[in-house]
Amino acid sequence: MGSAAAALAALAADVEARIAAFDVEIAQLRADRGAESADDEHDPEGVTLSGEWSRIAGLRDDALRERAEVEQASARVEEGTYGVCVDCGRRIPAARLAARPTAVRCIDCAARAGL
């Protein structure tokens, strides 16, 4: 599972970089919101600060969830249970793990679970 650990480490680095970038964008929006007294809610020229803030906050929340999934997958690597379906106990195919390194279910069990 050395390659799994390496893939998860790379994914973790990517997720952390995205979270940091979202934090910078949110800080900039916070500064823009505080610096301007303009009514951007009725600006026909583009996206409002509130709308952009909401979009970035949602993307950041998704990245935080992904970080938790990567951490859980890394823990499974350390425990020796990475790549084992939590429902049926069979091996998760390598192709599925390549596509979704944080997968906890094989394709059949994921389909049954509606995921």
pLDDT in tens, 77-115: 999 999 999 999 999 999 999 999 999 999 999 999 987
In the predicted model, is pLDDT for residue 55 greater than 90?
A: yes
Q: pTM for this one? A: 0.81
Tens-digit pLDDT profile for residues 13-41:
999 999 999 999 999 988 887 765 554 55
Q: Closest Cα partner for 70 from 110, 34, 107, 102? A: 102
DSSP percent split of the chain into helix, strand, coil, nearest 5: 70, 0, 30
